[in-house]
Amino acid sequence: MNDGHAAVTELLGAWALDACSAEETATVEDHLAGCPACTAEADRLGRAVAGLATTVAVPPPARLRGAILAAAVARRPAAGEEASSGYATWVDRFDTLLESLTPAQWRERVVHDWTVQDLVAHLTATDELLVAQLDSADDETLEDHAELDGGLPARRTAAAIGEHRGRPPGRTRAAWRAQADRLLQDVGEPGALDRQVRLADPRLPRQPLRTALVQRLFETWIHTDDIGGVLGGPPTPPDERHVALIVGFGVHLLPAALRLAGADRRPRSARLVLVGPAGGDWTISPAVQRAPARPPDATVTMDAVEFCYLLGNRRDPDSVPHRVEGDPAVAATLLRAAATLGCD
């Protein structure tokens, strides 16, 4: 089948200079997604084009710097210390909730076939994946285990649940809390937040500890909400500033989650519009985009808090309230990938 390789080759120079029509640009980029030879040539031409830009550099007016940094942070808050204080907040809330439970409530089923006690054991196991990395001076500690696949958190969870069943619930709670406190102590060390660590799913790219802490915050929140729901209480959605952190975490890992789902074989981009106080607007693609200005193939609009529940796999990707414009298959792939970013 002729996919227009020759025609695309002829257009590559003009394309690298943004001198093609919109239709030709789309043709070239569709072709590049599946042609390593043309991609290599495009990268070579791109390096020459990048050189051209240096010849016309002019410093912008000084006032622009502050305005631009402020506009950026208004769109996506800086992480800073927010992640560790947010995590500490949810550790306290979770602990307070556990403290209030009767022995019968500890045996209530929460999610999957897990009781409250199983759920706490699960949280302890996934927290431990992070704590073990911080406690070790050697960054590569987990590399030695020949188990760095997506099933790692599930195996650790199963082991922890087996270990804790039959123990007094107070001991399960104390073990979780002691480890959470150790984690909070570790993150207070100077420079700790920048340390590169693995997330619960070790197949995802390593992240700075501040990002991994958002995942801990997120998981501790969602289990607080899980247990609260079983006890008949109202939902406990995250605070607005925590929604912003969780949304940021999800949006930044979605491209990697899409790649794990194999969605980069025919990369399509989607615009994600999250509404609500901590919402925003992002373009997400499993591929590295040569063309950031190209229109997305689908736009998904939904509530930012609902998106947090979706990330925790507490909403069904097909039925979570959302609106799609454009290609429904692209939107569905995005929502399903989002639901894989939780920890259970």
Partner 1 sequence: MEQLQSSHPRWDKEVCERLVAGDEAALGELYDELSPLVYGLAARVTRDWAAAEDITQEVFVRVWENPQAFDPARGTWRSWLGTMTHRRAVDWVRRSAARRRHTADAAPPIAVPDPEETAVASSVAKSVQAAVDDLPAAQREAIRLAYFDGQTYRQVAETLGIPEGTAKSRLWQGLRRLGARLQAEGIET
| Number of Cβ within a 10 Å radius of residue 246 | 27
Applying CB under 8 A, does 4 fall inside the site for partner 1?
A: no
> Do the Cβ atoms of 193 and 208 come closer than 8 Å?
yes
Q: Is 248 in the site for partner 1 (CB under 8 A)?
A: yes
293 belongs to the binding site for partner 1 (CB under 8 A): yes
Contact status: 1 vs partner 1 (CB under 8 A): no
Q: Is 14 in the site for partner 1 (CB under 8 A)?
A: yes
**In whole angstroms, what is the distance from residue 274 CA to residue 228 CA?**
25
Shortest reach from residue 245's CB to partner 1, in Å: 9
321, 254 Cβ separation under 8 angstroms:
no
> Nearer Cβ to partner 1, position 35 or 45?
45
Specify the residue, 124 or 333, whose C-beta has the smaller distance to partner 1. Answer: 333
The reply on whether position 31 binds partner 1 by CB under 8 A is no
215 scored as a contact of partner 1 (CB under 8 A): no
How far is residue 217's CA from residue 198's CA, in Å, rounded to a whole number?
15
Q: According to the binding rule CB under 8 A, does residue 174 interact with partner 1?
A: no
232 near partner 1 (CB under 8 A): no
Looking at 147-155, 180-188, 192-200, 220-228, which segment touches partner 1 (CB under 8 A)?
192-200
Least Å distance between CB 308 and partner 1? 17
Among candidate residues 217, 146, 219, the one with its CA nearest the CA of residue 184: 217
Binding mask 147-166 for partner 1 (x = CB under 8 A): --------------------
**What values do phi and psi take at 82, rounded to 5?**
-55, -40
Q: How many residues does the chain have?
A: 344
Q: CA-to-CA distance for 122 and 127, rounded, in angstroms? A: 9
Indicate the residue among 180 and 245 with the shorter CB distance to partner 1: 245
Query: Taking CB under 8 A as the criterion, which residues in 39-98 touch partner 1?
Result: 43-61, 64-65, 67-69, 71-73, 75-80
In angstroms, what is the minimal distance from the CB of 209 to partner 1?
A: 9
Nearest residue (CB) to partner 1, 37 versus 73: 73
Please, what is the minimum distance in Å from the beta carbon of residue 53 to partner 1? 4
- Nearest distance from residue 70's CB to partner 1, in Å? 10
Q: Which of 276, 316, 269, 277 has the alpha carbon at shortest distance from 296? A: 269
Task: Please give the Cα distance from 235 to 273 (Å, whole number).
Answer: 23
Residue 230 CA: distances (Å) to CA of 84, 109, 227, 305: 27, 8, 5, 20
Longest dimension (CA), the chain: 73
Q: Output the smallest distance, CB 107 to partner 1, in A.
A: 40
Q: Where are the beta strands (DSSP E) in the chain?
A: 196-197, 207-208, 270-275, 280-284, 298-303, 323-326
- Residue 291, CB half-sphere, CA atoms under 13 Å: how many? 22
Please work out the total of residues on this chain that contact partner 1, with binding judged by CB under 8 A: 65
Q: Which is nearer to partner 1, 122 or 216 (CB)?
A: 216
Q: For residue 27, give the 3-state DSSP assignment.
A: helix
Residue 10 engages partner 1 in binding (rule: CB under 8 A):
yes
The binding site for partner 1 (CB under 8 A) comprises 10-14, 16-21, 43-61, 64-65, 67-69, 71-73, 75-80, 193-194, 196, 207-208, 210-211, 248, 252, 255-256, 280, 282-283, 285, 288-293
